[in-house]
Amino acid sequence: MTIDWEKEVQQRTPEMLADLAALIAINSSRNDAEATASAPLGEGPRDALLKVLSFGERDGFTTKNIDNLAGRIEYGNGTEALGIFAHMDVVPAGEGWATEPFKLTEQDGKLIGRGTSDDKGPSVAAYYGLKIVRDLGLPLSKKVQLIFGTDEESDWTGLNRYQETEKMPDFGFSPDAEFPIINGEKGITDLTIKFPTLAQSKAATLTLTSFTAGLRSNMVPQNAKAVITGAADLATAFEAFLAANPVTGQLKQTGATSTLTVIGKVAHSMAPEDGINAATYLATFLADLDLDQAGKAYVTIIRDYFHQADRGQHLNIAHTDEIMGDLTASPDLFNYQAGTVPDLLLNVRYPKGTDAATITRNIKQTLTDYQVEIVPSAHSMTPHYVAPDDPLVATLLSVFEARTGQPGHQEVVGGGTYGRLLKRGVAFGALFDDRENVMHQANEYTLKADFLKAAAIYAQAIYELAK
């Protein structure tokens, strides 16, 4: 049987766009302040989950909701199950958008909106891939389970709950990364580094009252703000600093209080080199001022050990694996309030050959003069790798080649996807490897043509893996 997968997608394009628009309209970033018994992660993640499950109910699939934290759309029968893992949550919109982030906007061949690339667009493409297989009545020997989480961008609360109550699939993929395939993912750990010795301070000409930056542990901070008290004219020096560096900013002075903001560029923490860390740039400027002892130490540490050091080279944690590549280190959350213990959160993504304990130990030794305390996140991941000769990898690469005419190849990334939940699990699309990666950035988009192409790829992949 010859199937024109692209034609099948084209026939369903209006419905695909309508469903995507309905999901993009929901601000589904985690919001613990809104958490209730019926919305454990806030109303947005719950509402997005309910919406995507409603698509399955509308179209006659079997669905299941697990505590408004995770859900499943299922089709077919068999002793084995193919799992497709996607997520309905998004990172916060942040600033710098030219369009409304929670309204799907089609412009110049782009589908713009928060989640179009990560991960609502790929989720809709995968869903319609499954729908095409079902609509065509293609014979399958395995169950297909499209499984949705609601907290992939933070602690994986949804899929952790799913694993407690549901039988996991035997093998599968996550449409939450890049084509042609991601068969290796680095280990991930968030380390909160606390500085107890900086809780007290000696007076100086200027006092750092506060220093804050960052929205999430997996986003390079785009904005940073510092408040300084004390009589000083900082305008000339700050303007010169902004002119000499790839950031913008603003200085407001009210009496003896100066508020400085710096704006850089947000990026996914798996590739911190794609961003401009506003916090480390602001700290670099502040480190040259006559600040109080604690404030001076805090910003100097940031400048000396974290600024433009996205491989952890100044912390003695740099490491490279021949297959998995470099360790990356992205300082993403900063919190300094005068008179309290300041901290910063470092997002580390590491290849085989090192581990979280070694990384933590080396940072402590490097910062030994400050007697730091390091608290690891409970949500940590070890490196994950599926060999290229595994039938799962081979099949997905052959489908990619058939649908694109391009050669397939393996790839390892720093991102953590649901693909790693399974021993035989990988990430498969939906970003094509010659495209701009705008996940977690302002003006996030996917090309409409790529969105449709991904659906055709997923349809054939589901059929080939489950037939």
Tell me how far apart the alpha carbons of residues 170 and 81 are, in angstroms, rounded to a whole number: 5
Q: Which amino acid is at 246?
A: P
HSE (side-chain half, CA atoms, 13 Å) at 362: 16
Q: Are strands 171-174 and 425-427 parallel, antiparallel or unpaired?
A: parallel
Burial of 378 per CB tally in 10 Å (0-12, 13-18, 19+): exposed
DSSP-based helix, strand, coil % in the chain, nearest 5? 35, 25, 40
Q: Extract the tokens encoding 20.
A: 């995507």
Of 8, 89, 332, 450, which one is the catalytic site residue? 89
Beginning with the edge strand found earlier in the chain, give each strand of the sheet holding 70-75 in spatial order: 62-66, 70-75, 143-149, 81-87, 171-174, 425-427
**DSSP-assigned beta bridge partners for residue 329:** 348
| DSSP per position, 235-269 | HHHHHHHHHHSS-EEEEEEETTEEEEEEE-B--BT
Catalytic residue among 119, 152, 153, 176: 152
Q: How far is CA 20 from the centre of its chain?
A: 19
Q: Which amino acid is at 218?
A: N
Cβ neighbors of 43 (< 8 A, separation 6 or more) are 31, 34
The helix/strand count (H/E) of the chain reads as: 11, 24
Kindly state the tokens that stand for 220. Answer: 């390079």
| DSSP 8-state assignment for residue 312 | -
89 catalytically annotated: yes
The kind and range of the H/E element at 10 are helix 5-11
DSSP string across 29-72: S--GGG--SS-BTBHHHHHHHHHHHHHHHHTT-EEEEETTTEEE
- What amino acid positions are annotated as catalytic residues? 89, 152
